[in-house]
Structure 1
Amino acid sequence: MRTDQTVRTFVDFYVERGHREIVGSTLIPPPGDPVLFTTSGMHPLTPYLTGRPHPLGRRLVDVQRCLRTTDLDEVGDRTHLTTFEMLGTWSLGDYDGPQSLRWGHELLTGPFGLDPGRLHATVHPSDELAPGVWRGLGVPVEITAENWWSNGPTGPCGPDSEIFYWTGDGPPTGAPTADDRWVEIWNHVTMRYDRGPDGALTPLGRPAVDTGLGLERLVTILQRAGSVYGTDGFASWFTHVPPLWPLGETDTRVVCDHLRSAIVVIGDGVRPANTGRGYVLRRLLRRVLTLLWRDDPGRTLGALPVEPVTHTIAHFGLPVTPPEVRTVLHDEERRFRDLLDRGRRVLSRRLRRGGPLREEDYRDLHDTHGLPRDLVESLLNS
Structure 2
Amino acid sequence: METDRVIRTFIEYFEERGHRRITGSTLLPPPGDPVLFTTSGMHPLTPYLEGRPHPWGRRLVNVQRCLRTTDLEEVGDATHLTVFEMLGTWSLGDYEGPQSLDWGYGLLTEGLGIDPGLLHATVHGGDEHVGPDTASLRVWQDRGVPVELTVEDNWWSNGPVGPCGPDSEIFLWTGDTPPRSTPTRDDRWVEVWNHVMMRHRRLEDGSLVPLPQRNIDTGLGVERLASLLQGRSSVFECDVFDPWRRLVPTLWPLDEPSLRLVYDHLRSAVVVIGDGIRPANTGRGYVLRRLVRRVLTVLWRDDPSRSLHDLPDELLTHTLDRFRQDLESAVVRRLLLDEERRFRRLLERGRQVLARRRFHGPLTDEDFHHLHDTHGLPRDLVMSLRQG
* TM-score under structure 2 length normalisation: 0.97
Q: 1:221-232 counterparts in 2 under 5 A? A: 221-232=228-239
For 1:248 and 1:19, the matched residues in 2 are separated by 44
Compute the displacement of 1:198 (Å): 3.2
Q: Deviations over 1:317-346 (max 9, x none)?
A: 012111010011000000000101111111
Name stretches of at least 5 consecutive residues in structure 1 with no aligned partner: none
1:380 to 373, 377, 386: 386
Return the letter of the residue paired with 2:9. T
For 1:350 and 1:378, the matched residues in 2 are separated by 18
Contact 1:262 1:284 (8 Å CA) reproduced: yes
Compute the displacement of 1:214 (Å): 1.1
Residue 3 of structure 2 corresponds to which residue in structure 1? 3
Matched, 1:304 2:279: no
Compute the displacement of 1:354 (Å): 5.0
Residue 263 of structure 1 corresponds to which residue in structure 2? 270
1:360 to 356, 366, 373: 366
Contact 1:40 1:151 (8 Å CA) reproduced: no
Contact 1:43 1:151 (8 Å CA) reproduced: no
Residue 331 of structure 2 corresponds to which residue in structure 1? 324
Change (3 A) 1:160 1:356: same
Q: 1:130-209 counterparts in 2 under 5 A? A: 130-145=136-151, 146-209=153-216
Return the letter of the residue paired with 2:330. P
Return the letter of the residue paired with 2:379. R
Q: Deviations over 1:280-329 (max 9, x none)?
A: 00000000000000000000001000111111100100121110100110
Contact 2:76 2:261 (8 Å CA) reproduced: yes
For 1:374 and 1:206, the matched residues in 2 are separated by 45
Change (3 A) 1:350 1:284: farther
Name stretches of at least 5 consecutive residues in structure 2 with no aligned partner: 126-131
Residue 339 of structure 1 corresponds to which residue in structure 2? 346
SS of the equivalent of 1:318 reads coil
Matched, 1:32 2:38: no
Compute the displacement of 1:138 (Å): 1.1
Residue 129 of structure 2 corresponds to which residue in structure 1? none
Contact 2:30 2:43 (8 Å CA) reproduced: no
For 2:281 and 2:341, the matched residues in 1 are separated by 15
Residue 66 of structure 1 corresponds to which residue in structure 2? 66
For 2:301 and 2:41, the matched residues in 1 are separated by 36
Matched, 1:104 2:110: no
Return the letter of the residue paired with 1:12. E
Compute the displacement of 1:199 (Å): 2.8
Return the letter of the residue paired with 2:251. L
For 2:336 and 2:296, the matched residues in 1 are separated by 10
Compute the displacement of 1:278 (Å): 0.1
Residue 88 of structure 2 corresponds to which residue in structure 1? 88
* TM-score under structure 1 length normalisation: 0.98
Deviates more, 1:218-227 or 1:196-205: 196-205
Compute the displacement of 1:41 (Å): 1.4
Residue 369 of structure 1 corresponds to which residue in structure 2? 375
For 1:354 and 1:53, the matched residues in 2 are separated by 62
Residue 127 of structure 1 corresponds to which residue in structure 2? 133
For 1:129 and 1:101, the matched residues in 2 are separated by 10
SS of the equivalent of 1:161 reads strand
SS of the equivalent of 1:135 reads helix
1:235 to 210, 229, 242: 242
Identical amino acids, percent of aligned pairs: 67
Compute the displacement of 1:356 (Å): 2.7
The two structures, once aligned, show a CA RMSD in angstroms of: 1.0
1:295 to 289, 299, 302: 302
SS of the equivalent of 1:70 reads helix
Contact 2:354 2:360 (8 Å CA) reproduced: no
